[in-house]
Structure 1
Amino acid sequence: MKKILQKLFSLVFLIGVISISTSAQNKPVHIGIDGLTHAHVHGLLQNINKVNAPVQIVGIAESNLDLAQRYSKQYGFDMSIVYSSVEEMIAKTKPEGVMAFNSIYEHLSTVEACLPKGIPVMVEKPLAVNMEHAEKMAKLSDKYKTAVLTNYETTWYASNHKVYDMVNKQHAVGDIRKVIICDGHEGPKEIGCNIEFLDWLTDPVLNGGGAVVDFGCYGANLMTWLMKNERPLSVSATLQQIKPDIYPKVDDEATIVVAYPKSQAIIQGSWNWPFGRKDMEVYGATGYVKALDADNISYRLSKGKVTSEKLPALPAPYNDPFQYFAAVIRGDVKVSAYDLSSLENNLIVVEILDAARESAKTGTIVNLKPNKEY
């Protein structure tokens, strides 16, 4: 009888431990928001009152109170969680992680406020406005052993991951020869972006450029991923102002050519497409595969026929930036240097964008220094 009771006690204890562990995993991660001026913040605010949401917003840093009040009415958060600075928000709310929805230029100040306190940061693409800012972030991440991640919409596309698997794991198309990546839309003003977003998105200092930064970064991120963080040999770019009356300070049309020893990428970022698009074509020595949108691919291997597939969504937490960030903070996901969100990948992205702007400015091909260390 004594042994039976001991076994029952052990079983009850085990169930309790499992229950506590499961409860801890299901408990939302406390997140702070730095800035509301990036329109991508809507994706997070839309989830603010959802049951079983992976994150709970405990504080918002936004000095534009009119904007904060507008979003407060739209999404139902209390203005008591809004603070005038990220430092005050951190001190008052003790977030476990911070997501930045401010200008690209301000990403550095978010990182400088958070990392010394051991608070991981996820910024909206791209990582930084230039390499000077990016290298400062990298040094802080290394010093404080705290993550700095970059969020791209295309990171969560099942199509892109299928392309990666076919190219790098199955070797289905042979060695990469040419990659064409197209991203953009009709233009931020044309699609109705709010004035707070437009004010910095069309500013050469706060955004670092126009379409070259806004949409060129997608292609640089994906190509760096496909090439497993190999730095390119050279970068050349042509930037244009097709609509100077709408975007007088920045480019609205960008074509970037990124060269490697035996392959190249043509990255086309534009505010002049007739419709929104985010697609990629990878041509190898023996076949090709195309990511047509988030869920659909087509491919032709060797001498076979063209085949199309509709893909299911990626499994959680790899299908959503908020679930992913929460999983990283909990320690459930370890970020690899080769991941799309990684600091290592995105340092190369910023280097490519810097070189693209330099190439367009000088009219020359920019050769990257070999063996660069960040």
Structure 2
Amino acid sequence: MVEDNTAPEEKVKTSYYSGEPLKVAVIGLTHTHVHWILGREDLGDIEIVAIVESNRDLAERYCEQHGLSVDLIYDSMQAMYASVKPEAVTAFNDIYGHLEVVEFFAPKGVPIMVEKPMAVNWEHAQKMTQLAKEHNVPLLTNYETSWYSSHHKAKKMAVGDSLFGPIQRMVFHHGHPGPIEIGCNEEFLEWLTDPVLNGAGALTDFGCYGANLATWFLNGEVPTGVTAITRNYKPDMYPKVDDDATIVIDYKDKQVIVQASWNWSHNRKDMELYGKTGYVICSNGQDLKILEKEEDGAYEQKAKALQQGFHDPFALLNQVVKHGHQLEPYDVSSLENNVLVMQILEAAKVSAETGKTISWDVFFKSE
């Protein structure tokens, strides 16, 4: 993805796309990130042709909220596919259900995008990967942070002719005060706070962001070890899952620290990248603080908007399916990146349970 020359406040919201829209079915509505696609402005690049959700009340409520016809609603993937043949599907169900979506659509040759993280655990991830490869079907994973122009700017600064030397350390702060505290709806909370349907708590929910971005920045470099500590600071609110996780990902010559929590004082998704002589801090999706050399001092910069057509997950899905766009190796949305993410999360869960650092080669050799 590349930057365009349009300032964020001048970004065009009208249609940029002149071809036939990609016909997309939305599978599940219980992940509230689904509002991104349901409420997305009409840019001409995608068309929602079906919604699969067994909770009829939820489906009708969201359709009314976003001005969509209730005729789009089906109660199962089987019923939908008997009537509609989408060109791609996006999964916004619980994470445990991602495997079922891939099991149904991959053999039919239908490209799939799932909301983060890729899978509920490493076992599911392996099955999903096998199905995608066997049927030669794109399997993408979407993260909000994939579309932060600040991250794309930071990567350009940190690789190749780096302004401050090779990456030595990355620190990610991701999370919010807690899903109950910020008012997540009942249908979302039901699975988000369930250790089976979500795989863990904050470790899964927000640990995946840092693992995904680090894998992208480091071009798929494999860790040497993973150490994690999880806590439950609010057992009365989250009795079944962790609400705080710190994951330390060691590499041969660098370290990544992921602080994933439902205990922050505020919503945050920020990143710190340190090289040999300086750093770049992404405070949010647009703003960067940059230090090239300490004697010169730090300066601030605002990243430009991403190129239209590669500016959000659904535009990218259109490019992949309709135009044969090939993702760069270890792209944030790519299968190979998110396989590594799932391995990191699996190692982190085992580390937190055992109180031991997980040696990468030993742990995954035994898989």
The TM tier, using the shorter chain, reads over 0.9
Assess if the C-alpha contact under 8 Å between 1:186 and 1:276 holds in 2. Answer: yes
Aligned to 1:360: 352
Q: 1:157 to 1:213 in 2, by over 3 A?
A: same
Is it true that 1:308 corresponds to 2:300 in the alignment? yes
Aligned to 1:298: 289
Is it true that 1:343 corresponds to 2:361 in the alignment? no
Higher mean alpha-carbon deviation, 191-200 vs 363-372, is at 363-372
**TM-score, length-scaled by structure 1:** 0.90
Is it true that 1:209 corresponds to 2:200 in the alignment? yes
Partner secondary structure for residue 220 of structure 1: helix
Q: Which amino acid aligns with 1:148?
A: L
Offset at 1:244?
A: 0.8
Q: 1:102 aligns with which of 88, 93, 99?
A: 93
Aligned to 1:39: 32
Assess if the C-alpha contact under 8 Å between 1:32 and 1:90 holds in 2. Answer: no
Aligned to 1:229: 220
Q: 1:143 to 1:227 in 2, by over 3 A?
A: same
Offset at 1:326?
A: 1.1
Assess if the C-alpha contact under 8 Å between 1:28 and 1:52 holds in 2. Answer: no
Is it true that 1:117 corresponds to 2:108 in the alignment? yes
Partner secondary structure for residue 300 of structure 2: strand
CA RMSD of aligned residues (A): 1.7
C-alpha distance after superposition, 1:172-198 (max 9, x if no partner): 121211110010111111111110000
Aligned to 1:331: 323
Greater relative CO (CA pairs within 8 A, separation 6+): 2
Assess if the C-alpha contact under 8 Å between 2:18 and 2:44 holds in 1. Answer: no
Assess if the C-alpha contact under 8 Å between 1:157 and 1:319 holds in 2. Answer: no
C-alpha distance after superposition, 1:9-56 (max 9, x if no partner): xxxxxxxxxxxxxx9952211000110000001111112xx4433211
- After superposing on structure 2, the runs of 4+ consecutive aligned residues of structure 1 that deviate more than 4 Å are 370-374
Q: Which amino acid aligns with 1:36?
A: L
Partner secondary structure for residue 323 of structure 1: helix
Higher mean alpha-carbon deviation, 211-220 vs 278-287, is at 278-287
Is it true that 1:59 corresponds to 2:33 in the alignment? no
Offset at 1:369?
A: 1.8
Q: Which amino acid aligns with 1:228?
A: N
Number of aligned residue pairs: 350
Q: Which amino acid aligns with 1:224?
A: T
Partner secondary structure for residue 256 of structure 2: strand
Cα distance in structure 2, aligned partners of 1:52 and 1:159 = 23
Which runs of structure 2 are paired with 1:122-271 in the superposition (5 Å)? 122-271=113-262
Cα distance in structure 1, aligned partners of 2:93 and 2:264 = 25
Q: 1:290 to 1:142 in 2, by over 3 A?
A: same
C-alpha distance after superposition, 1:256-300 (max 9, x if no partner): 000001100010001111110111111111211111110010111
Assess if the C-alpha contact under 8 Å between 2:17 and 2:44 holds in 1. Answer: no
| Structure whose CA Rg is larger | 1
Offset at 1:170?
A: 2.8
Cα distance in structure 1, aligned partners of 2:100 and 2:327 = 23
Offset at 1:79?
A: 1.9
Instruction: Indicate the percent of aligned positions where both proteins have the same amino acid.
Output: 47
Partner secondary structure for residue 236 of structure 2: coil
Structure 2 unpaired stretches of 5+: 1-15
Structure 1 unpaired stretches of 5+: 1-22
Q: Which amino acid aligns with 2:236?
A: D
Is it true that 1:27 corresponds to 2:20 in the alignment? yes
Partner secondary structure for residue 180 of structure 2: coil
Q: Which amino acid aligns with 2:237?
A: I
